[in-house]
Amino acid sequence: MTIRTLDSLGSLAGKTVIIRCDLNVPLKDGVITDDGRVRASLPTLQALAAQGAKVVIVSHLGRPDGAPEAKYSLAPVATRLAELLDAPVAFATDTVGASAQDAASKLRANSSGDGQFLLLENLRFNPGETAKTDADRRAFAESLVAAVSADAFVSDGFGVVHRKQASVFELAELLPSAAGLLIETELKVLDQLTETPTRPYAVVLGGSKVSDKLGVIGHLLPKVDTLLIGGGMLFTFLAAQGYQVGASLLEKDQIDTVKGYLEKATELGVTIVLPTDVVVASKFGADAEHTVTSASTIEETPFGASGLGLDIGPETSATFAGIIEESHTVFWNGPMGVFELEPFAEGTRAVAAALTKVDGLGVVGGGDSAAAVRALGFTDDQFGHISTGGGASLEFLEGKRLPGLEVLGW
């Protein structure tokens, strides 16, 4: 791994540093329901302030269409940041306008390590952030630099490094730039997963669609000892083995591809472990009738061909947990079932609990998996690493080059 780090920027005392964080947190009625990404940003923010830098934080939240939307405001994040940093965090109600310029001009810092913080409003309220053309993105990045009189740029939003966006790519071209501590940590972990895993090495994949994971399966299959399959994607694997799956999620167009991976695994000596039992429900809902059945008899339940598989069963959960606990490197991405509904959360809970017992490196692969472990009552420090990446982590594990890393010298 070669990437420019904070040390490459030299002394930042008295300088204004724009830092791209990933503060895209879930909100309900204006309240943050999971502040994991905010917490993950703290080490780099604190390191910059300790150098006496004036720290201007930028991020997106949600998918506004290039214009302000109140429900996507970062104002609640500014409040939470101030609480976690135990320091004031000014908030600008725009990105490059009068509010940002005024707030940035009032930032103070000195070499004694009391740099101040400013959070700008949602970057995606400006169409330049995600513009299709290089010129439009660059123009927005230039406006950001000018608005806050920035001297340097730190990229620390790992969850967006797979996107070629103004605050990820063009800012890094315009200013002296480096990766923050979060990105450094993510890359070290991902490098270990792809290049230097301690064996036995198990990968656990779930989530709804097998098509979302094909690249990861293809790239990691030659590197792992065991691949465990759960979540909605398991039914395409079962169908590839000739089983009927009722009304469960099924990607028929991927069945032949899955058959190819099963054959490839046999050639490589890799064990693919599929569920032996599943939880089948009468409908999608917490109040649905449900039962446990063999993976080969899904349509033989009282629900017949209309039965929905919504979780791995207890036998499978125990099998998966045993393999995970015996492994020294484990990467998990994707829930085992519909964990948001309590009757279908046990598979995900079992995998998470097993991951906390790994004697080695146990990695929760961001996105829904990270949300699941927190929703189920686990804490971040129970795991070797919880990625903030989600899609970025998966693209890295597929072997893709990521523009937000390449621009930093990786």
37 is in an annotated binding site: yes
Looking at the DSSP bridge assignments, the partners of residue 118 are: 56, 90
Q: Tell me: cis bond preceding 222? Omega within 30 of 0 counts.
A: no
22 is in an annotated binding site: yes
Q: Are the CB atoms for 278 and 316 separated by under 8 Å?
A: yes
Catalytic residue, candidates 218, 384, 391, 409: 391
Of 197, 158, 159, nearest to 181 by C-alpha is 158
400 is in an annotated binding site: no
Beta carbons within 10 angstroms of residue 46's beta carbon = 19
110 is in an annotated binding site: no
Angle at 91 between CA 89 and CA 92, to 5 degrees: 150
39 is in an annotated binding site: no
163 is in an annotated binding site: yes
> Is 391 annotated as catalytic?
yes
Residues 6+ away with beta carbon under 8 Å from 67: 125, 127
369 is in an annotated binding site: yes
**313: its two tokens:** 């069963």
362 is in an annotated binding site: no
User: How does DSSP classify residue 221?
Assistant: T
Catalytic residue, candidates 232, 362, 367, 404: 367
262 is in an annotated binding site: no
Distance CA 121, CA 91 (A): 7
Of 371, 320, 304, 313, nearest to 344 by C-alpha is 313
**2: its two tokens:** 């070669």
Distance CA 97, CA 106 (A): 15
Buried b (16+ CB within 10 A) or exposed e, 161-196: bbbbbbbbbbbbebbbbbbbbbbbbbbebbebbeee
Catalytic residue, candidates 80, 209, 223, 259: 209
177 is in an annotated binding site: no
How, if at all, do strands 308-312 and 277-281 pair?
Answer: antiparallel
363's enclosing H/E stretch is strand 361-364
> Is 399 annotated as catalytic?
no
Encoded amino acid at 396, one letter: F
Catalytic residue, candidates 37, 138, 164, 349: 37
> Is 108 annotated as catalytic?
no
299 is in an annotated binding site: no
Encoded amino acid at 117, one letter: F
108 is in an annotated binding site: no
| 3 state DSSP class of 271 | strand
- What residues form the annotated binding site for (2R)-3-phosphoglycerate? 37, 124, 163
- What residues form the annotated binding site? 22-24, 37, 60-63, 124, 163, 213, 309, 340, 366-369
- What residues form the annotated binding site for ATP? 213, 309, 340, 366-369
- What residues form the annotated binding site for substrate? 22-24, 37, 60-63, 124, 163
Catalytic site positions: 37, 209, 367, 391
